[in-house]
Structure 1
């Protein structure tokens, strides 16, 4: 790979990876808003799917549960999305 192509790739990755990480964290709200209804969890989502979602968001869940400040923000963020959806 030429030096120019490598430079372009590094610039792309240095911008894309942080953006993808932020989008991953922010996607918790819409997913929770979709899954949680006023009567509880949606009936049309299988337990296998719920397990996969839980595993996918395990790092975010761990970080949020480890910090009271983040937990308060996350609860408000998820409630915001529940109200919208």
Structure 2
């Protein structure tokens, strides 16, 4: 993704994230994790950190993706 990880974006001093950008990024992260957790067989990422959140520009906004599923596990059934 063109901006790299959220970690990279936060370390850059040239890119200032407005509060609206921060809320958009957080919302997309939450939606991605919620999607994983609400599958018939839920997926638990187990390594959410800024290095595993990838970002790119989407017009004036950002597109955020959850990445690196190396520690993820699939639950056999939901606990709902």
- Taking structure 1 as the reference length, the TM-score comes to 0.32
Whichever structure has more strand as a proportion of its residues is: 2
- Taking structure 2 as the reference length, the TM-score comes to 0.34
Q: Which is higher, the Rg of structure 1 or of structure 2? A: 1
